[in-house]
């Protein structure tokens, strides 16, 4: 009984101090950690791909002023999924290692950028440069559709017809589950 307690004490002494000194000393996350979003304002073209894929609807795009498109990031509900940085055709969005985002006002978790856009000469609306729009399907604009991923096997044009022919009911018979 006493011996087992002593053995336990010995194990505790051998383990030494395990507690992190964290709030007083920095404790960086491992590389590849997805922390607070960082935006390279020089690179953003205002295409809105990030807003299209964001599952939390963090990014709001407004065309209030002529020639300026405003991207509004409400980072309080950002889930750090990394889709926006994956989809960004210019690499303007990236995740930093910063996780110390706790704050007492929700206004601190707001990021805005005014992007200078080329407006249409006829309707006056902003549009991203066509070359960048052309890049979007190549770089995986919708990451959740298999066929749009880079390197994925693109279905042949007649794949749907082949599938339909293979799975259609035999002529004149009743379709059953077992062939």
Partner 1 sequence: MFKELCRKAFTRSLWVYHANAGACNGCDIEVIDVLTPYYDAERFGIRLVGSPRHADVILLSGPVTRQAAPALKRLLDAVPDPKLVVAVGSCAAGGGSWFDTYATTGGANETIHVDYFIPGCPPRPEAILYALAVAMGLVPKKAAPEHWQQETLEELAAGITHLKRA
Short-list 128, 57, 130, CA closest to 92: 128
81 binds partner 1 (CB under 8 A): yes
114 binds partner 1 (CB under 8 A): yes
Cα–Cα distance for residue pair 122/83, rounded to 1 Å: 34
CA angle 10, 13, 15 (to 5 degrees): 110
Cα–Cα distance for residue pair 111/78, rounded to 1 Å: 12
* Phi/psi at 175 (5° precision): -75, 125
Q: Are 151 and 62 in contact (CB under 8 A)?
A: no
Q: Which stretch binds partner 1 (CB under 8 A): 104-112, 126-134, 141-149, 159-167?
A: 104-112
Q: Which stretch binds partner 1 (CB under 8 A): 103-111, 128-136, 150-158, 166-174?
A: 103-111
What is the β-pairing status of strands 126-127 and 59-65? unpaired
Q: Which stretch binds partner 1 (CB under 8 A): 111-119, 125-133, 150-158, 160-168?
A: 111-119
| Secondary structure (3-state) at 7 | helix
For the record, the structure tokens of 133 come out as 């729009």
Of the residues 52, 61, 90, 101, which one makes contact with partner 1 according to CB under 8 A: 101
Indicate the length of the chain as a whole number.
179
Residues 6-65 that bind partner 1 (CB under 8 A): 18-20, 22-24, 27, 29, 39, 41-42, 44, 55-57
Of the residues 6, 10, 62, 103, which one makes contact with partner 1 according to CB under 8 A: 103
94 binds partner 1 (CB under 8 A): no
By C-beta, is 96 or 162 nearer to partner 1? 96
106 binds partner 1 (CB under 8 A): yes
Q: How far is the CB of 174 from partner 1 (least distance, A)?
A: 41
Q: How large is the greatest C-alpha to C-alpha distance in the chain, in angstroms?
A: 89
Of the residues 6, 7, 9, 79, which one makes contact with partner 1 according to CB under 8 A: 79
Contacting residues for 13 by C-beta, under 8 A, at least 6 apart: none
| Positions that interact with partner 1 (CB under 8 A) | 18-20, 22-24, 27, 29, 39, 41-42, 44, 55-57, 67-68, 74-81, 98-104, 106-116
């Amino acid at each position: 009984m006493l011996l087992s307690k002593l053995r336990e004490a010995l194990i505790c002494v051998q383990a030494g101090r395990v507690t992190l000194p964290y709030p007083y000393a920095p404790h960086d996350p491992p590389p590849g950690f997805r922390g607070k979003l960082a935006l390279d304002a020089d690179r953003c073209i205002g295409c809105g791909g990030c807003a299209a894929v964001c599952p939390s609807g963090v990014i709001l795009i407004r065309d209030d002023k002529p020639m300026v498109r405003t991207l509004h990031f409400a980072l309080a509900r950002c889930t750090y999924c990394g889709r926006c940085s994956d989809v960004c055709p210019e690499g303007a969005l990236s995740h930093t290692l910063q996780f110390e985002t706790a704050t007492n006002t929700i206004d601190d978790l707001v990021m805005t950028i005014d992007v200078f856009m080329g407006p249409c000469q006829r309707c006056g609306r902003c549009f991203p440069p066509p070359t960048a729009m052309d890049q979007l399907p190549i770089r995986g604009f919708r990451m959740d559709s298999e066929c749009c991923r880079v390197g994925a096997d693109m279905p042949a044009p007649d794949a749907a017809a082949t599938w339909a022919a293979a799975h259609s009911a035999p002529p004149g018979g009743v379709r059953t589950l077992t062939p």
